[in-house]
Structure 1
Amino acid sequence: MPDVGTLAGFYRIAEADPDRRAVVGPDGAVTTYGELLARVNQVSHGLRSRGLGKGDVVATVLPNGVDALVTLMATGQIGLYHVPVNRHLTDAEIAYILTDCDAGVVIADRARPVDGALDGTAGLAAGQPKSAPGDRSAGSVMWYTSGTTGFPKGVQRPLPDAEPEAVVPLATWFLGETCDLRPGDGVHLVTAPMYHAAPCAHTMFALHLGHTLVIAPAFEPVTVLELVDRHRVTNSMMVPTMFHRLLRLPEEVRERYDLSSLRQVIHTGAPCPVTLKRKMMDWWGPVLYEYYGSTETTIAFAVKPHDWLEHPGTVGRPAPGVEARILDPGGAELPAGEPGLIHIKSAAGGFRYRKDPARTASGTRGGWYAPGDIGYLDEDGFLFLCDRRTDLIVSGGVNIYPAEVEAALLEHPAVADVAVIGVPDEEWGHAVVALVQPVPGDRPSTRELLDHLGPRLARFKRPKVVEFRDELPRTPAGKLSRSRVREEYLAGQDVGTFAARRLRS
């Protein structure tokens, strides 16, 4: 059996070890590296036969599975941009992205039909050779941002003028430095949709590392534990919402499964309360790796488990090749411990927003990019996030960070989820409102929650209003959608009576 650590990524590993297990699908079907490469090569030839050349775009509207993997790896060796589209978007939202990215080929499936799309990759592969295409060059994934400030835009990076084998080693080295992921016989559990950036990237690089992919049919806590136990999963990528759901399992259920194979569980995409992360590491051991970044910057800060335990709450130090600074509203750099707007500069190269040079110019200055988050660096250079600039609450002239209030409320055992927002208030400018989703069958009283916050938060940070909701809106990636929460809350309020409803606290 070849040493995959000496081979530069998926294509070379598959050629050298074709019988190696590549994928265990949602239905349990196994695909080997050799079988996957054969289909990847066929689809590469099929895309070229349709006239696509370097720099053109292929879009997919697919569930997790072999077709999504095949398209990802096929575009990745013939210099194409791949645009994965969230299949839960409306027809109009999908059509907008497909038009904006100028997709030359669209691949979907029958469960989510799209006008003009191919049904899977079978048609592209039919009759095509299984040998590698000639004139290979690395492609790239082009992600569309969430569109919180308007229509979403594609984040487009220059295509390397080189074969994938010349590009992959640097990326896999980077993941080794930040997440301790190494080539070999690892097993990666896919728990989240691959049309999101982090799950897709970890899925792709698991193949470049020679790991086996186990694709969960959906995120169900017991299913995830069972898959880890059965397949001896070594690494996975999750979001904090998944940790909440896992921890709500009864102790006797958790104890049924052997999770000792886990080495790295990487989380990102949303703030993770300190108490929540401690509980997960008490259960799973020191295996939680965290990083912070954005579609534009990829991984900008990263922290390993033992460093986090020494600096609880941090999202890490700058990743290799990344510079960071914290600036005040006037652009002056702030000292350690002072919150301000985070700015990031990466040696990995720049990006542009597709068809939007104005937005590109406004979002980056001199190679520095501001993701829109507020945070501070401590004396040791570890970054601590406060909140999104757009979510900041200013009440009585004082800054209040919703994420801090949410984290404190989530420490209450009867709180399943919570969204904290600021609403207009004549006296204070904004007032803090907490919308709480209780644990089923265990709804706490408002007074109980405020008493819980007493020793945890200063008085001015505590909510003036607490309301209960059966469910809070989240994106498919698990991120709380505060903008939707705020819009829905304000739409249902009589602002004139708000002051009379405030809690006397």
Structure 2
Amino acid sequence: MTFRPEDGFPLSEIPKTYAADMGDTVVVRADADTLTWEQLYRRSNSMARGLIAAGAAPGRIVTLLLPNSTDLIVSVFACYKAGATPQVLSPRTTPAERDAILKIGAPAVVVVEPDGPVDDPAGAVTVLDLSDGQPDADMEPRLATSWKAPTSGGSTGRPKIIISGRPAVTSGFDPDVWGIEPGDHSLITAPLHHNAPFGTAMSTIFLGGSVTLLTRFDAERTLATIDEYEVTWVYLVPTMMRRIMALPDEVRRRYSLHSLRSAWHCAEPCPAWLKRKWIEWLGPERLWELYAGTEAEAGCTIRGDEWLAHVGSVGQVTWGEMKLLDPDGNEITSPETSGEVFMRVSPGTDATYYYIGAEPHTRDGWSSLGDMGRFDADGYLYLHDRRSDMITVGGVNVYPAEVEAALIEHEQVLTAVLIGLPDADTGNRLHAIVQTPESGGATEAELRGFLADRLSRYKQPATIELVHQSLRDDAGKVRRSALRAERITKVSP
């Protein structure tokens, strides 16, 4: 493989260019299904023609209601060739959430699975519908005005689309941030309808690497896949890390992970005890963490050895700029003082995104995702919680992240979510929803004892609800508003 794309190379030309050198090489695996560069090149040509005939064009979105699959990767490149912006949505999205996103995005085409849900949106088509009868030869190149259009905010009932500010051309930004190198073999353990899995999978492909997509997460299967395909780069979320670490020692020892150069995690807080175990297992140089928003104005990264010196930090600012503001909008310059995290791109840099369906929360050119945090004297950022998640109990503010962090330090707690439920006396009462294993999990009394010397009395949950089903989606995100709404409904007369 001799080709290396320079910044600005059209994404539509990626399959053709690599197919010329390594057409029979597998670029994507998903379960037993494989896709070579030549197949990606030819199939995306055919589908692109079908998309254009259906109305896809520069400046338009094409919505892909597809799971992790070779068809999904073909569809993304077909969008680039048609000049459209791909928007990957989960086929398991509820009709209400899906329709709200489609309403604001007004996609030119909606692509669905052939055997997907029976309530597909009107006018939806399959990959086969679009490709059938279409030639697979070269076509006149087009350029999509944006290379991705992820969605966010569905858990609040106010979905928004985050349109990338970069057109469909290559950039060294994403590979540099994630430490992805040319020719890497990446294992993507989460669905591509989430931003980080999509960005890292595509960055690997843009650099001529290969990607294995898990269609369903399984702890041991993840380790087996790393060894079988000599994976060099893997994406995880802490929920997955916990499940892998919960495997018996003799099971984990079956897999050497000798090929793995780096393992990255993000999307949710990682308990200190869990991160220490992973550092001990892989070595500190191989474990990385990233903190950023899909908007990508600024972000932090931290390697395991740095984390050991700054336990609990998400790292120093790696790109863009960040600062903390107090409630009155004054900048906080002293270390160890909490405030709201505001970000902006580095001066002279183009905008990294724009919203459809929402307006950013800004102050004087700086924007906030609502996170609260503090910097230490060395410039390392420590996150506390989302401003919008704060719960006021009897006039006292409680940030759920602190209580949740204390709960998940218990090794029998898989996930914890703290919400506020209405209380006639204090306005809100703290209610903890705690996921434990189906057998051998902690009891409510045990958890209360565990929290007793870890949290001040006013931060102690008034009620604890033990559950066994996951409280996070397949990318590690908590649907806090939905959890609260369910419980309010149950207690309402």
Mark yes or no: TM-score above 0.5: yes
Q: TM-score, normalised by structure 2?
A: 0.89
User: Structure 1 pair 96/425, CA: closer, same or farther in 2 (3 Å)?
Assistant: closer
Please point out which of 109, 113, 116 is paired with 2:123. 116
Q: Does 1:291 align with 2:290?
A: yes
Deviations 1:436-460 (A, max 9, x none): 2222221333332233224433343
Please state whether the residue corresponding to 1:55 is helix, strand or coil: coil
CA contact (8 A) 1:45 1:133 kept: no
Please state whether the residue corresponding to 1:302 is helix, strand or coil: strand
Report the counterpart of residue 300 of structure 1 in structure 2.
299
Deviations 1:207-234 (A, max 9, x none): 0122111122310112111111111111
Deviations 1:412-437 (A, max 9, x none): 22223222223345665544332222
Please point out which of 19, 24, 30 is paired with 2:29. 24
Amino acid at match of 2:172: L
Amino acid at match of 2:22: D
Report the counterpart of residue 275 of structure 1 in structure 2.
273
Identity %: 33
User: Structure 1 pair 396/84, CA: closer, same or farther in 2 (3 Å)?
Assistant: same
Q: CA deviation at 1:60?
A: 0.9
Please point out which of 78, 84, 98 is paired with 1:74. 78
Cα distance in 2 for partners of 1:350, 1:255 equals 43
Q: Does 1:230 align with 2:237?
A: no
Q: Does 1:59 align with 2:66?
A: no
User: Structure 1 pair 332/48, CA: closer, same or farther in 2 (3 Å)?
Assistant: same
Cα distance in 2 for partners of 1:159, 1:351 equals 8
- Number of residue pairs matched? 480
Q: What pairs with 1:326-341 in structure 2 (closer than 5 Å)?
A: 326-335=324-333, 336-341=335-340
Deviations 1:309-330 (A, max 9, x none): 221211122232x111111111
Q: What pairs with 1:479-490 in structure 2 (closer than 5 Å)?
A: 479-490=477-488
Cα distance in 2 for partners of 1:218, 1:490 equals 32
Q: What pairs with 1:465-504 in structure 2 (closer than 5 Å)?
A: 465-493=463-491
Cα distance in 2 for partners of 1:393, 1:259 equals 43
Q: Does 1:48 align with 2:52?
A: yes
CA contact (8 A) 1:293 1:300 kept: yes
Q: CA deviation at 1:137?
A: 5.3
Please state whether the residue corresponding to 1:169 is helix, strand or coil: coil
CA contact (8 A) 1:2 1:17 kept: no
User: Structure 1 pair 15/309, CA: closer, same or farther in 2 (3 Å)?
Assistant: farther
Report the counterpart of residue 134 of structure 2 in structure 1.
127
Please point out which of 385, 388, 391 is paired with 2:386. 388
Residues 269-278 or 12-21, more deviating: 12-21
Amino acid at match of 2:235: M
User: Structure 1 pair 82/367, CA: closer, same or farther in 2 (3 Å)?
Assistant: farther
Please state whether the residue corresponding to 1:194 is helix, strand or coil: coil
Q: What pairs with 1:159-170 in structure 2 (closer than 5 Å)?
A: 160=167, 164=168, 167-170=169-172
Amino acid at match of 1:42: S
User: Structure 1 pair 302/468, CA: closer, same or farther in 2 (3 Å)?
Assistant: same
Report the counterpart of residue 141 of structure 1 in structure 2.
148
Please state whether the residue corresponding to 1:140 is helix, strand or coil: coil
Q: CA deviation at 1:136?
A: 4.4
Q: Structure 2: where are the runs of 5+ without partners?
A: none
Residues 372-381 or 150-159, more deviating: 150-159
Cα distance in 1 for partners of 2:89, 2:298 equals 21
Please state whether the residue corresponding to 1:83 is helix, strand or coil: strand
Deviations 1:20-45 (A, max 9, x none): 32112212x33222221222233233
Report the counterpart of residue 417 of structure 2 in structure 1.
419
Report the counterpart of residue 253 of structure 2 in structure 1.
255
Aligned alpha-carbon RMSD (Å): 2.6
CA contact (8 A) 1:4 1:13 kept: no
Q: Does 1:351 align with 2:349?
A: no
Report the counterpart of residue 180 of structure 2 in structure 1.
181
Cα distance in 2 for partners of 1:122, 1:298 equals 38
Cα distance in 2 for partners of 1:93, 1:179 equals 30
Report the counterpart of residue 91 of structure 1 in structure 2.
95
User: Structure 1 pair 156/180, CA: closer, same or farther in 2 (3 Å)?
Assistant: closer
Cα distance in 1 for partners of 2:96, 2:402 equals 36
Q: CA deviation at 1:264?
A: 1.8
Q: Does 1:107 align with 2:107?
A: no
Deviations 1:457-489 (A, max 9, x none): 334333233232233533332222222232233
Please state whether the residue corresponding to 1:84 is helix, strand or coil: strand
Report the counterpart of residue 371 of structure 2 in structure 1.
373
Deviations 1:144-197 (A, max 9, x none): 22234443122224463xxx5xx41333xx432x3322112x211121111111
Please state whether the residue corresponding to 1:129 is helix, strand or coil: coil
Report the counterpart of residue 311 of structure 1 in structure 2.
310
CA contact (8 A) 1:436 1:468 kept: yes
User: Structure 1 pair 487/334, CA: closer, same or farther in 2 (3 Å)?
Assistant: same
Cα distance in 2 for partners of 1:47, 1:305 equals 45
